[in-house]
Amino acid sequence: MNTISFEELKRIPDPIIIDIRDNYSYNISHIKNAINIPYYNLLNNYSHYLNKNNIYYLYCDEGKQSFEISKRLNLFGYNTKSIEGGFNIFK
């Protein structure tokens, strides 16, 4: 399963969290310590941003887009999980 709840995520020490929303949404508010890589940048340049030795936790607004991108990146050999419910759960 390539999803994780926000409660499970809080128990992980120093997770690498990627906000795949646009820069504007990220600048308004985001999960603490999340880095912003908009989904179109991530999909077009994933090898530039990701390392196959790390686990990445992705989120969008509702969790649907991050789930689809996570599935695709995992097919390419990366280890990613989508945060269930996205940023809306965090708010």
Q: Do strands 35-36 and 55-59 pair parallel, antiparallel, or not at all (unpaired)? A: unpaired
What CA–CA distance (Å, rounded) separates 36 from 25? 10
pTM of the model: 0.96
C-alpha distances (whole Å) from 79 to each of 27, 61, 73, 75, 88 are 26, 21, 8, 9, 23
pLDDT, position 36: 98
The reported pLDDT for the residue numbered 15 is: 98
State whether CATH 3.40.250.10 applies to domain 3-90.
Answer: yes
Q: In this predicted structure, what is the pLDDT of residue 34?
A: 97
Residue 91 has a pLDDT of: 72
Give all strands of the β-sheet with 16-19 in edge-to-edge order.
Answer: 3-4, 79-83, 55-59, 16-19, 35-36
Q: In the chain, what are the domain boundaries?
A: 3-90
Give residue-wise pLDDT tens across range 60-82: 999 999 999 999 999 999 999 99
Residue ranges of the chain with per-residue pLDDT less than 50: none
